[in-house]
Amino acid sequence: MSRRSFLAWSGLVGAGVALTGCSPHGEEKAKDEGAADATPAAFEYDSTHWSGCHVNCGSRCPLKLYVKDGTVVRVGNDNEGTDDFEPGGIYQMRSCVRGRTNRQRIYNETRVQKPLRRVEGTKRGEGQYEEISWDEAIDQIATTMKEIKDEYGNDAFYIQYGTGQLGGTVAKSWHPDKTAFARLMNLYGGYLRHYCDYSTGQINWELPLFNGDAYSNNEVTDLVNSKNIVLFGNNPANTRMSGSAMQYLITQVRLQNPEAHIVVVDPHLSDTAIGVANQWVPIRPCTDMALVAGMIHHLFTEGKLDEELIRSKFIGFFSDTFVEDVKQGEPKDTSFMGFDKAGALVIDEDMSYEAYLKGTGAYEGTGEKTPEWAAAITGVPADTIRALADLFVDGPTATIQGWGPQRHSAGGNNARAIALIAAITGNVGISGGGTGAREAVGGVPYKVATAIPTFPEKNTVDVCVSFFDWYQAIEDYQSMDDATWGVRHINEKGATIYAEEPGTIKLKAPIKFIWNYASNVMAGQHADINDSLRIYNLPDEKDSGVRMIVTVDCYLTPTALVSDIILPGTTAFEEDDIVTGGTAWTGFVCCESAAIDPLFEAKPVYEICTLIADKLGLKDQFTEGKSQLDWVKWSYEQGVEAGEDFPATFEEFREQGLFKKTDQHEPAIATDEKIATPSGKYEVFSKQAYNLSKQWDLTCGGYVPDDGRDQITGLPIYYNNVEGFGDEATKADYPFQLIGHHTKTRTHSSYGNVEWMKSVAPQQCWINEQDAAALGVENGDDVIVSTERGRSQLSAKVTPRIMPGVVSIPQGAWYDPETRDAATIGSKDVLDKGGCISVLTSARPTPISKGNGVHSNLCKIEKA
Ligand SMILES: Nc1nc2c(c(=O)[nH]1)N[C@H]1C(S)=C(S)[C@@H](COP(=O)(O)OP(=O)(O)OC[C@H]3O[C@@H](n4cnc5c(=O)[nH]c(N)nc54)[C@H](O)[C@@H]3O)O[C@H]1N2
Ligand SMILES: Nc1nc2c(c(=O)[nH]1)N[C@H]1C(S)=C(S)[C@@H](COP(=O)(O)OP(=O)(O)OC[C@H]3O[C@@H](n4cnc5c(=O)[nH]c(N)nc54)[C@H](O)[C@@H]3O)O[C@H]1N2
Ligand code: SF4
Ligand SMILES: [Mo]
Number of the ligand 1 atom closest to the C-alpha atom of 285:
35
Determine the distance separating the centroid of ligand 2 and the alpha carbon of 520, expressed in angstroms.
5
- Model-wide pTM > 0.85: yes
Q: Which amino acid is at 226?
A: S
Does residue 223 carry a pLDDT above 90? yes
pLDDT, the chain, mean: 94
Specify whether the CB–CB gap between 626 and 28 falls below 8 A: no
Number of the ligand 2 atom closest to the C-alpha atom of 517:
38
Does residue 457 carry a pLDDT above 50? yes
φ, ψ for residue 72 (rounded to 5)? -75, 120
Q: Does any domain span residue 779?
A: yes
Number of the ligand 3 atom closest to the C-alpha atom of 77:
3
CA distance 113 to 603: 10
Q: Does any domain span residue 503?
A: yes
Q: Does any domain span residue 17?
A: no
Query: Between 585 and 619, whose confidence is greater?
Result: 619
| DSSP secondary structure code for residue 837 in this structure | G
The dihedral built from the CA positions of residue 499, 504, 508 and 513, taken in this order, carries a sign that is: positive
Q: Does any domain span residue 307?
A: no
**Same domain, yes or no: 477 and 612:** yes
Q: Which ligand has the shortest distance to the CA of 56?
A: 1
Give the pLDDT of residue 368: 98
Does residue 402 carry a pLDDT above 70? yes
Q: Which ligand has the shortest distance to the CA of 53?
A: 3
Q: Does any domain span residue 596?
A: no
Probe residue for ligand 2, chosen from 238, 552, 750, 842 as the CB with the greatest number of ligand atoms within 8 Å: 750
The tens digit of pLDDT for each residue in 743-784 reads 999 999 999 999 999 999 999 999 999 999 999 999 999 999
Q: Is 811 in the pocket of ligand 2 (CB under 6 A)?
A: yes
Long-range contacts of 605-609 (CB under 8 A, 24+ apart): 605/165, 605/171, 605/173, 605/179, 605/180, 605/181, 605/517, 605/552, 605/569, 605/570, 606/170, 606/171, 606/180, 606/631, 608/138, 608/180, 608/552, 608/567, 608/569, 609/180, 609/181, 609/183, 609/184
CA distance 740 to 859: 12
**Same domain, yes or no: 735 and 609:** no
**CATH code at position 130:** 3.40.50.740
Q: Whose CA is nearest to atom 35 of ligand 2?
A: 571
Q: Is 97 in the pocket of ligand 1 (CB under 6 A)?
A: no
**Same domain, yes or no: 609 and 471:** yes
The dihedral built from the CA positions of residue 353, 356, 358 and 364, taken in this order, carries a sign that is: positive
Q: What is the CA radius of gyration of the chain?
A: 26
**Same domain, yes or no: 471 and 614:** yes
Confidence of residue 83 (pLDDT cuts 50, 70, 90): confident
The tens digit of pLDDT for each residue in 690-736 reads 999 999 999 999 999 998 899 999 999 999 999 999 999 999 999 99
**CATH code at position 790:** 2.40.40.20
CA distance 422 to 438: 12
Alpha helices by DSSP H, listed for 285-432, are: 288-301, 307-313, 322-328, 353-358, 371-378, 382-392, 411-424
Terminal CA-CA length for the chain: 47
Q: Whose CA is nearest to atom 20 of ligand 2?
A: 520
Specify whether the CB–CB gap between 600 and 568 falls below 8 A: yes
**Same domain, yes or no: 751 and 615:** no
Confidence of residue 496 (pLDDT cuts 50, 70, 90): very high
Q: Which ligand has the shortest distance to the CA of 852?
A: 2
**Same domain, yes or no: 741 and 858:** yes
Give the pLDDT of residue 493: 83
Strand spans (E) along 448-573: 463-466, 488-490, 496-497, 513-517, 548-553, 565-568
The tens digit of pLDDT for each residue in 498-544 reads 999 999 999 999 999 999 999 999 999 999 999 999 999 999 999 99
Q: CB 121: neighbour CB atoms within 10 A? A: 8
**Same domain, yes or no: 613 and 722:** no
Give the pLDDT of residue 497: 95
Question: Domain boundary at 625, 657, 690, which?
Answer: 625
What interhelical angle do 288-301 and 411-424 show, nearest 10? 30
Give the pLDDT of residue 243: 72
Buried-exposed string 620-646: b where 16+ CB fall within 10 A, e elsewhere: eebbeebebbebbbbbbeebbeeebeb
**Same domain, yes or no: 826 and 722:** yes
Q: Does any domain span residue 739?
A: yes
**Same domain, yes or no: 728 and 851:** yes
CA distance 842 to 780: 27
Probe residue for ligand 1, chosen from 239, 284, 439 as the CB with the greatest number of ligand atoms within 8 Å: 239
Q: Whose CA is nearest to atom 10 of ligand 2?
A: 198
Give the pLDDT of residue 41: 55
Q: CB 312: neighbour CB atoms within 10 A? A: 9
CA distance 644 to 641: 7
77-81, 418-422, 683-687, range with the lowest pLDDT:
77-81
Specify whether the CB–CB gap between 65 and 585 falls below 8 A: no
CA distance 182 to 783: 43
Probe residue for ligand 3, chosen from 50, 51, 53, 60 as the CB with the greatest number of ligand atoms within 8 Å: 53
Give the pLDDT of residue 824: 98
Q: Does any domain span residue 89?
A: no
CA distance 228 to 771: 33
Q: Does any domain span residue 479?
A: yes
Rounded to the nearest 5 degrees, what angle is found at the Cα of 52, between the Cα atoms of 48 and 53?
Answer: 135
Confidence of residue 8 (pLDDT cuts 50, 70, 90): very low
Confidence of residue 249 (pLDDT cuts 50, 70, 90): confident
Structural domain tally of the chain?
A: 2
Q: Residue 767: give the domain boundaries.
A: 716-863
The tens digit of pLDDT for each residue in 797-836 reads 999 999 999 999 999 999 999 999 999 999 999 999 999 9
**Same domain, yes or no: 619 and 720:** no
Rounded to the nearest 5 degrees, what angle is found at the Cα of 748, between the Cα atoms of 403 and 823?
Answer: 120
Give the pLDDT of residue 24: 25
